[in-house]
A = this chain, B = another copy of it.
Amino acid sequence: MNGLYHLGELPTAAVEALAARALALRAGAQPQRFDGRALGLLFFSPSLRTQASFQRAAGLLGLDLVQLQAGAGGVWGIETEEGAVMDGANAEHVREAAAVLGRFVDVLAVRAFPKGQNRAEDERDPMLAGFRRFAGVPVINMESSRWHPCQALADWSTLDMLGVHKRAKFVLTWAWHPKALPQAVPNSTLTMAAQRGMEVVVHRPRGFELAQDVMEEARALAARSGGSVVESDDRGCLDGAQVIYAKSWGSLAHYGDAAAEAGARGPFRSWCVDSTWMARARPDARFMHCLPVRRNVVVADEVIDSQASVVIDQAENRLHAQTALLEAVLSGAGRPESPASTAGREKSPGRPIRDPSSAMEMKR
């Protein structure tokens, strides 16, 4: 497969195969080895789980690791606009940055949060779009303005691991947060649950609707898989939930206007998942969150520390899901040849061990 931008773009069977492989890896299956090949990680935004789990996945797969951090003495600003006269802050265009990094690695993973000023620009996801267009190697989205497919894949595998029924009731609930957070995780969580065929409810205050096109995509995915998607601001929609998945996000109605957005959030300070919320759900309901989470703001200690909470398993599954994803990307047919991959892989017949295909044959 040629990278991953949005999980919903993959056929459901492909997602199921990746999730199954993730759980097999969790259970102790041996990762494939890709010695002599390389993974590039490029962070324009902060990260704990994503950095750590991709670094570790590289090690498990035998990949060389190239890691870059933008800002603060690392990599300079990258321009994404076509035709820009670059006399401002950005020192390099994504056309060059992507093409160059694509010569050094076999797969490139990029994290770039939205700037939060201009919704239309952010929804074009310019940094990911630029890297996907110009890198010349598969690109993995480590969370962009729009999507966080690695989280969604990990969550899918977590639901499988927990034996949650494909038709179970899944409530994605908004929560209050001191900042206006991006939509990538709720977008990906919603479409992931819809694609599984779950009975999906988006529980959010009025004014905190997710983007119309994302809702439509979720409904289309649900229609194909036999699930459903509804929205509600009524706490009663939690009743009988099998999964309560919490996440805060900012109001699209006030995008880029921090004061107005904070004002819109203000009345909903009490939207914090506590035991009264969980009491509405099934007795065996699960609490999920992608982390990082603000305790006693988004979720009460009594919930995240309870047996219902599976947040640490979700996070662990990031590692296994990404390891499975990288295996699929690196062993995929039809991968474009790049000079870097040429340089990185063995060609001479006398040294078969670092040739990926030969190595895999040896393992079989």
Contacts and interface: CB of A to CB of B under 8 A. Distances in A.
Contacts of A25: 343
Given A96-B312, A320-B343, A301 B348 contact: no
Which of A38, A40, A293, A312 has the largest number of chain B CB atoms within 10 A?
A: A312
B28 A48 contact: no
Interface stretch (A79-87, A163-171, A213-221, A222-230): A79-87
A75 B69 CA distance: 11
A330 to B, nearest CB: 15
B343 A353 contact: no
Contacts of A48: 68, 75-76, 92, 97, 100-101
Contacts of A91: 292, 294
A131 interface: no
- Which applies to chain A's interface (DSSP): helix, strand, loop or mixed? mixed
Contacts of A31: 343
A169 to B, nearest CB: 26
A359 B297 CA distance: 48
Interface stretch (A58-66, A140-148, A238-246): A58-66
Contacts of A97: 48, 292
13 contacts: A27-B342, A28-B343, A28-B348, A49-B100, A51-B74, A55-B64, A85-B297, A95-B295, A104-B316, A320-B343, A351-B363, A353-B359, A362-B363
